Amino acid sequence: GAGVSQSPRYKVTKRGQDVALRCDPISGHVSLYWYRQALGQGPEFLTYFNYEAQQDKSGLPNDRFSAERPEGSISTLTIQRTEQRDSAMYRCASSSGVGQETDATNEKLFFGSGTQLSVL
Amino acid sequence: GENVEQHPSTLSVQEGDSAVIKCTYSDSASNYFPWYKQELGKRPQLIIDIRSNVGEKKDQRIAVTLNKTAKHFSLHITETQPEDSAVYFCAASIGRASKIIFGSGTRLSIRP
């Protein structure tokens, strides 16, 4: 597709259930990011990948959250034993490449439409 | 720690006037500073970005300035129009890595 695709668009689940959120980045994009965005707030960094390697997972709130990108393309963010406080918009973004010193082109982030997660 | 602070949180300007949004960052090694616009119910979209080897960049009515010494950067919108109403986010790369963190946003309203 032409842009970053996320599924599902909406997810309603009961507390204690596991959820898996999918991100399909722009074809050929090396870097893939996961953010969480509360209503009226800025995107909160969770984790990011270059190719299949998870470069930084310092933003994951706790060990119930994990992410993978096994083949360097599609990524899945998994939340185990969901809690009400996990309710938020989860956004994926991708960029074309690892940052270079003089060229900002490959650091431009393109966001998906997000998955709105509601934990009841 | 890694931090990007943004202010004001809300801004209302008369149509045709200028709007300025300011951000500060904590990591002196940060070298990439994008700005995003998010309309209600939509995804954030990049409107302009700047690298640390440049002090200012313009694109029509939008400009960004960077002061590396003071570790702050600003977004300037001139001749504001109703369609400029949105939430604007600044962001900064952390160190020389690709990790990008965002400010808390500024809700800009343009009064007719």
Which residues is A32 bridged to in the sheet? A49, A94
**Are the C-beta atoms of residues B100 and A35 closer than 8 Å to each other?**
no
On average, the pLDDT of chain A sits at 92
Which pLDDT belongs to residue B23? 98
Per-residue pLDDT for A105 more than 70? Answer: no
CA distance B42 to chain A (A): 7
Query: Higher pLDDT residue, A99 or A119?
Result: A119
The pLDDT tens digits for B16-71 are 999 999 999 998 888 899 999 999 999 999 999 998 888 999 999 999 999 999 99
Instruction: Count CA atoms closer than 13 A to B16's CA, side-chain side.
Output: 1
Average of per-residue pLDDT across A47-51: 94
**% pLDDT > 70, chain B:** 96
Instruction: Count CA atoms closer than 13 A to A6's CA, side-chain side.
Output: 25
> Chain B interface, mutation test: which of A4, A5, A41, A58, most B Cβ atoms within 10 Å?
A41
| Residue B58 in contact with partner chain A when CB distance is under 8 A | no
Please report, as a single letter, which amino acid is at residue A84: Q
Which pLDDT belongs to residue B52? 85
Which pLDDT belongs to residue B110? 97
